[in-house]
Amino acid sequence: MLGDSLSAEYGLKRGTGWVKLLEQKLAAEKIPADVVNASISGDTTSGGRARLAPLLATHKPTLLIVELGANDALRGLPLKESAANLQAIVEAARQAGARALLVGIQVPPNYGRKYTEEFAAIFTGVAQQTGSPLVPFLLKGVADDPDPVRWFQADRIHPKEEAQPRLLDNVWSVLGPLLRAPAGKVGKAGRASKA
């Protein structure tokens, strides 16, 4: 799991974030997998790209979940740079023998329609170019809830503990079928998981 604060349990009690819930779900589903959460609060696509090689060498994953990009938007980094970093992360994972699952994020409408649409298109574009599976929006059902305030911490950026099962459901809707796919049945996304 290569992510930022949305996956690093920022502001949450340890063990309550969606990545930890994923670990519990895998155990409940009797899917033998080890989960390594290499998420760092504040990380960007360039930061994830820079620290990926040693993570791949150390942990030798069969699947890399990539949840990065929100901090790129918050810092106003060039969209082309973010897309290039995500593509490089996916390619590095593939070269190391792992599939990549991209987890998309969206920015609030106050960023302006053009930027909002172009930012969301980064994830779709990289997924299409690399043949990678995509979770379109990690915060679906949370940020787009009619009353989103109830799901967020006081900073209105990081989801509360109560929102974490929804985040897991969003990821699992794509990840679950990937993990259950027979060897050779995952198409362009890469080889089937060892799990």
**What is the amino acid identity at position 183?**
A
Check 5, 46, 82, 132 and give the catalytic one. Answer: 5
DSSP 129-160: HHT--EES-TTTTTTTSSSGGGGB-TTSSSBP
What counts of helices (H) and strands (E) characterise the chain?
6, 4
Which helix (H) or strand (E) segment is 63 a member of?
A: strand 63-67
Question: Is 5 among the catalytic positions?
Answer: yes
Check 4, 72, 82, 155 and give the catalytic one. Answer: 155
CA distance 1 to 64: 6
Check 41, 145, 158, 169 and give the catalytic one. Answer: 158
Question: Is 59 among the catalytic positions?
Answer: no
Query: Which whole-number Å values give the CA distances from 108 to 73, 113, 133, 136, 144, in the listed order?
Result: 10, 9, 24, 15, 9
Question: Is 145 among the catalytic positions?
Answer: no
- Nearest one of 103, 173, 99 to 130, comparing CA atoms: 99
| Contact between residue 3 and residue 103 where contact means Cβ atoms under 8 Å apart | yes
CA distance 145 to 162: 13
Q: What are the catalytic residues?
A: 5, 155, 158
